Every structure is written in structure tokens, then in C-alpha cells.
Chain A
């Protein structure tokens, strides 16, 4: 199998993931976009591992790492989404702007 097949696939996946993260309003769908990006990376790692016939199989090892991290991350992310839903009643990313630099900054004493 030529290398560019899995690479093409992973690029497509990554692009879809980016699109999802940047455009979707639903927080759960944003998280899914993140998952897609992570898995695109996994695909890359595995593909290159096979291509280089790496003795230590670093690519596969890292893919496992990423899977674990992705699991932890999605768990944390979903928990946050859940809390947001509980407090705000919705999970629209566009409306969550509490961290905006809105008020006059507390003028430092001068």
C-alpha cells in the first residue's frame, strides 16, 4: 500500500476535525471534531511507523499514548460540557463568552 493513501485519509480526517472545531456551535460536536483530529494524527503515526519499519515501533507506541490521552480528554471535556449545560441550560459555544476582556481594566495604580 503506498504511503499517500493513509496520509490522504488522515489529512481529510484532520480537515474535517478542524472544520468541526471551528464552525460547529454545539460543544459536543466540537469535542467530536477534536477526536477526529486526534485520530487523524494516530493514523499518521501508524502509517509512518509501518513505512519506516521502525524497530522500536515508536509510532505505534505514541498512537497508544494519544488514544489514552484522547480518552482522558474526552472524559474531561464531556464533564465540562455537562456542567456548562447544568449551569447555563445550553451548550452553544458562541454564547459562552464569560472570559471576554469586557470591562475597563482595573487601572493599575499610577
Chain B
């Protein structure tokens, strides 16, 4: 079994290498490798994951370890239900994205590097999910960031793609320092880098808050960066110039969710460190509301989805912060499914329309029937419509914050109340922006209606390679709620408190009311944007970074360069000039008069004799 785990890690990496080797040599081979490896990876992931769902004993194995004075760095894997479900999620989405890309990236000259990077990313995500050694996790963690960087800048001709890629990489990498130092501190405290060992040691007790708050807060910093939470949230919307399948895979389903996974994985540590939980709760409360507001007013389809991702990730962190581990993880899975679906469907729309602006869309219901159907399911799940998966998991999260506000002990009560209020308001806003996007894209008057006959752009449904993944993702989105009803089958037996019927009823009423208001506003606007798109007063986070960080660094950089040239160079040049100057003085004595030289010799000899006499 353990060798299958190794294989599931190796297959994507091998496929990436093969893709690059084949390169432009054979297009068919290239596609075969990408999709074949995706399918193989998914199959292997299934083989690994299914036996470890539920109550199975976790699998742990060390392949190799370094010998050194410090705690060893080990190639160690660990598969428990959490790893298993994420493994399935990552490989499913990755496989579907590879299939989808056959159509979406058709004719792209850079398909080989694209396919290779997607495979590489899949491998990195797998590594993160199954790693039992913190360093191995870090390797996967940062490798994901690099793949994300290269894939965002896939269309490097676009200035915004270049800028977004750099921003994403730098922001997440800066936050990754938190993970690095958390690893170092944990290694010092526990003399091991094995996650399972460290977590067992924490669970045994014996370590107080004073020992644990620092690594927990450092980890929080890392996940805030990776999952684009406030105040490091600005990179994710700017990452949207990347190809849409990438947004589905990396910036919705897997990489950004890895932050949630990391917290879930190291949960004993967080439970013993209230400071980190409070921080997490605060960040989540602020982020979910802020991002929902942005999503409400953006007129770019992909950016709406990006902001909603940020907002939904904040839900997961909120659940984890109040101790609802299973609610957070289940929402992560549900979100992975429906957000990947939404992004892929949005890709189909963009593919057809040729623009990401929602003002260029409208009335697409008849032209893109398959996309319409699946995307409606996706939006429904996002908004929390009753039988879809989003309803159940979001209900579980809001219920958890409600419980925490009433009688929770993990975070400060006022923070729990804030979180609860924020979650409810965000749920309402989510309905509003989902519905708005759905209405603007699929209903109403077509954007080109006022154009003459011949000028209306041809809009056709996507090829089958793009449609099939949509339906395959719509399936779990529609039926995933069953997992929330029977969580034991997936996460193992335990006490779950995921269903809150009364709360669910209230939320459904709220959803319906909001929907009515939005539809009314939309009608009144004549089937266009229900409200005037406006530029929200952005909290000037980016400006703060720019003024507080980027510019001073650049100023320092120029200073360093000038310092090298004018100061440090100066002592080198000064030494040279000093030698020249001394030489110039000394050569005055070289006047050519031999008798003068001799005079010096005689005087010198006499002086020496006198000195010798005095001393002796």
C-alpha cells in the first residue's frame, strides 16, 4: 500500500518531466501524457484514499531520513481520512482540469509547458496532502506557489498577468516565512519534524500555551498568505489573468485551500494555542465580509468568483477557529467541488464570449444550455440553496459559530459573536452576488442585441472535452450533502454536530428574501446589472504595501547600489590613491644627485650609530 502512496506522488512529477521532454514533438503524445497521467493519478489516489476513509487506521511510513546531529529530515508519508479526502479532491479536479484543457487550451503553442506545470502542481499538492514531515510539506507548499506563479503568467504577453504572477508569488512566499519559522520552532521544541509525532506530543499535554503560541501564530501567518485572507487577500483577484482551468484548480479548489488543510492537519497545535485561534477568527470575520462586498460590485465574472473564493475560505477558517473541525473540512471539500465547477463553467462562458466582463454577457441561457445547467447548480451551491452541498456545509459552519457564540470556550465571546454575525451577513451577500452574476450572464438581453445582424459574435457551446468535466463536477455538487448527513463514513466515527435544522430554516428564508430583492432590482434595471457597479472604497492595503514596503525597499536598493559605488568602492579606490600619493612624495627624493643619496646614507649611518650608542 505504501508504495502506492509513493507512486501517487511520483506519477504527476514523472508526467511533468515527460511532458517537457516530448515538448512540441508530438501533440497527440503530449495530450495523451497529460490526460493519461491525470487518470492514472486519480485511480491511484482512489486506491490510496478509499481504504483510509472512515475509521481505518492511518498509514504512516518513512522512506528515507537524513542522519545528522539535529532532528532528521525524513521522507515520511501519512494517510488519514483528512489526507484521503483531499487526495481525492486534488486528483479529481486535476484530472478534470487536464481533460477540460484539451478543449480550452486547444491550439495554444505553449500547451506542453502548461500541461507539465499542471502535472507538477498536482504532484506538489499531493506531497502537501500526504506529507508527514514538515519539511516535505514545505517543499510541496512552496512548489505549489511556484507552479501558480508560472501558470498565472502563462499569457505573459499581458502586463496584468505578469504583475499578478509576481504579486502572488511574493505575497505567498513572504507569508511562507511563517511556515518556515514555525517548522524551526516546532523542531526545537519537539526535537522532531514528524507531524504525527508532534501532534501526538501536543495531544498528550505537557506543553503549555507559552510553548505553543509562537508556532501556531506563525502557521496562521502562513495560511493567511496562502489562502488569501485579509490583509494578504489582494493577490488572489489579481491572479485571475491566468487561464481559467488554472483558476479552477489552483485558485479555487486546491492550493488556496491548502491553508485550511494545514490548519486542519495541525489542529491539536491550534487548539492548545488560543492566541492563534483568536487571530484566525478575527481574520476570518473580516475577510468573509470584505470579500463578499467586493464580489457584490465587481463586474468581471472571474473576479466575482475569486472574491467569493476568498470569502468562502474565510468561512472554513471561521469554522476551524471555533473548534468545528469537521465543518471546516467538509466545507473545504464542498467548496472545492462547486467552485471548480463554477470556474470551469465560467471558462466555458469566457471561451464562448471572449471576454470576462459580465457586461459583455447576457442571455446565454439558450446558447450555452449545458453550461447554463451546470453553472446554475454551482451558483446554487455557492448561495446555499437547499438540497445542494453548499447549503449543508455552510449551515454547519454557521451553526458552529452560533454554538461558539452561545457557549464556546476557544475564542473570546465577542469574537465568536462577531464571527457569527459576519457569517450570516456574508451568507446573504453571497446569495446576492451569486444571483446577480447568474442573472447577468445567462438571463436578460444579450449583450450584442443592439448590434447589426452580421456583427453579432458567434457564440457556440464548448466542445465535449469541456462539457464532460462540468457534468462530472455537478454530480458531487448536487449530491455531496449526503456526506454531511453521514460524516462518519468519510471522516471516521466521532461526535458530529453538523445539522442545525432551525438555523437551516432561517437561512433558507433569508436566501429566499434576498433572492426576491435581487430579482426585483434586476427587473427594475431592465435585465442588466441590478445595481450600478461602483468602485468600492478599497481599504488601501495595496497602497499601504506599496508605500510602506515596496518603495522603501527600492529606495534602500538604490542606496545599497550607491553605497557600493560611492562608499565601499571609495575605500578601495582610496587605498589605491593613497599608494599613488605616497609614491609621488617619495619620488621627490629621487633627484638624480648621487652625492645627495650618499649624504642620506652617511647621515643615516651616523644617526643609527648614535642611536645604537644611546640604547646600548
Contact = CB atoms under 8 A, between A and B. Distances in A.
Interface in B581-614: 583, 587, 590-595, 598-599, 602
Contacts of B598: 21-22
A99 B592 contact: yes
A93 B595 CA distance: 8
Nearest to B584: A105
B576 interface: yes
Contacts, number: 33
Given A101-B587, A110-B576, A96 B599 contact: no
A62 to B, nearest CB: 20
A18 interface: yes
Contacts of B602: 18, 22
A77 to B, nearest CB: 12
B304 to A, nearest CB: 64
A108 to B, nearest CB: 9
B594 A98 contact: no
Contacts of B587: 101, 105
Interface residues of B, number: 12
Contact of B595 (A22, A99, A101): A22
A97 B595 CA distance: 11
With a 10 A CB-CB cut-off, give which of A18, A22, A99, A102 has the most chain B CB atoms.
Answer: A22
A94 B593 CA distance: 6
Interface in B243-294: none
Given A18-B602, A22-B602, A94 B595 contact: yes
Contacts of A97: 591-593
Nearest to A27: B594
Contact of B591 (A22, A23, A100, A105): A100
B593 A23 contact: no
B609 to A, nearest CB: 13
Contacts of A105: 583, 587
| Interface residue tally on A, bucketed by range | 10 to 19
A93 to B, nearest CB: 6
A30 B594 CA distance: 11
B592 A96 contact: yes
A105 B592 CA distance: 15
Interface in B552-598: 576, 583, 587, 590-595, 598
Contacts of A99: 592
A34 to B, nearest CB: 10
A100 to B, nearest CB: 3
Nearest to A98: B592
With a 10 A CB-CB cut-off, give which of B590, B591, B595, B598 has the most chain A CB atoms.
Answer: B595
A105 to B, nearest CB: 8
A29 to B, nearest CB: 12
A110 B587 CA distance: 20
Nearest to A101: B590
B537 to A, nearest CB: 60
Nearest to A21: B598
A99 B593 CA distance: 9
B595 A23 contact: yes
Nearest to A104: B584
Interface in A3-47: 18, 21-23, 30
Interface string A87-99: 0000001101111
A105 B581 CA distance: 12
Contact of A93 (B576, B590, B591, B594): B594
10 contacts: A21-B595, A22-B595, A22-B602, A93-B595, A96-B592, A97-B592, A98-B592, A100-B590, A101-B592, A110-B576
Interface of B: 576, 583, 587, 590-595, 598-599, 602
- The 8 A-B residue pairs with the shortest CB-CB distance, nearest first, are A100-B592, A97-B592, A101-B590, A101-B587, A99-B592, A100-B591, A22-B595, A22-B599
Given A93-B593, A96-B594, A101-B587, 15 more contacts: A21-B595, A21-B598, A23-B595, A93-B594, A93-B595, A94-B595, A96-B592, A97-B591, A97-B592, A97-B593, A99-B592, A100-B590, A101-B592, A102-B592, A105-B583
